[in-house]
Amino acid sequence: MNVREQFGNIDIYLFDQLLKGRIAPGMRLLDAGCGNGRNLVHFLREGYDLWAVDRSAEAVEAVRALARELAPHGERISSEERFRMEPVEKMSFANDTFDVVISCAVLHFAENETHFQQMVSELWRVLKPGGLLFVRLASGEGLEDRIRPLGGGRYVLPDGSERFLADSGLLERMAEKHHALQVEPLKTVNVENLRCMTTWCLKKPHILFFDPIEERSEERLPEGTGETDETETGG
């Protein structure tokens, strides 16, 4: 089996999280806005506890078929319970369900900022404390003089597409609202001045305390689960 067969057309920045060990077998993983499953080939092959949602019935059926083809015990994992036709902003999962939540090229289809915030809040709701949120979305960073506003945070990009564009300020405010720990700095890639894509990686803390003297936030883990994780929040 070659690399393409093992990993499919996985997002390169999601692949980076695999290489860094932040996504590992045994974790319960949700792809929110899964499309046809481009990011799921490896996880299906390796028997991850995988779940997915998409508002498109065709996309969900494509992922079920992919599961039947690739996953160990594929008939079982391809069930309607695991792969659901649902909007990201209103999922039927319980709170704190998943170790990893992935949402690639989904949030920039928000109708406006309120819709965007609803989707982010829902992704955060279903993520377990200690879990990883991995998001890739369109951005206007570096394209400010090339995009045309439509209102409500939506723009026409140089490539002609219409997207909701979340700048770094909005992402930082959302992270602060949810008391998120930033796993990595924001990374934005400019594709020939036609569009930009940002990678946003956050951790949901167990319990977060702020030390006003040291000007840092400290994650306090439940007893016996490991060391604390400290994140700078001030200069």
Residues 54 and 108 in one domain: yes
Residue 210, pLDDT above cutoff 60: no
Token output for 51: 């779940």
Average pLDDT over residues 32-55: 96
Closest CA to 93 of 177, 27, 31: 31
Each residue of 103-148: pLDDT tens digit? 999 999 999 999 999 999 999 999 999 999 999 999 999 899 999 9
Residues 161 and 227 in one domain: no
Residue 14, pLDDT above cutoff 80: yes
Residues 47 and 151 in one domain: yes
Residue 230, pLDDT above cutoff 60: no
Concatenated DSSP letters for the chain? --HHHHHTT--HHHHHHHHTTSS-TT-EEEEET-TT-TT-HHHHHTT-EEEEEES-HHHHHHHHHHHHHHSTTHHHHT-TTTEEE--TTS--PPTT-EEEEEEES-GGG-SSHHHHHHHHHHHHHHEEEEEEEEEEEEE-TT-TTT-EEEETTEEE-TTS-EEE---HHHHHHHHHHTTPEESS--EEEEETTTEEEEEEEEE--SEEEEETTTTEEEEEPPTTS---EEEE---
Each residue of 149-208: pLDDT tens digit? 999 999 999 999 999 999 999 999 999 999 999 999 999 999 999 999 999 999 999 865
* Phi-psi domain of 142 (left: phi exceeds 0; alpha: psi -120 through 50; beta: other): left
Residue 233, pLDDT above cutoff 50: no
Averaged pLDDT of the chain: 89
pTM of the model: 0.86
pLDDT of residue 110: 98
Residues 69 and 55 in one domain: yes
Residues 70 and 152 in one domain: yes
Domain that holds residue 213: 209-235
Residues 219 and 175 in one domain: no
Residues 8 and 25 in one domain: yes
The CA-based angle 35-38-40, given to 5 degrees, is: 100
CATH code (residue 51): 3.40.50.150
Residues 153 and 178 in one domain: yes
**Total number of domains in the chain:** 2
Residues 200 and 221 in one domain: no
pLDDT of residue 209: 54
Residues 137 and 47 in one domain: yes
pLDDT of residue 208: 56
pLDDT of residue 231: 44
Each residue of 75-93: pLDDT tens digit? 666 677 899 999 999 999 9
Confidence label for 228 from pLDDT (cuts 50, 70 and 90): very low
Residues 233 and 170 in one domain: no
Residues 176 and 219 in one domain: no
pLDDT of residue 71: 81
In the chain, pLDDT over 70 holds for what percent of residues? 85
Each residue of 68-77: pLDDT tens digit? 999 876 566 6
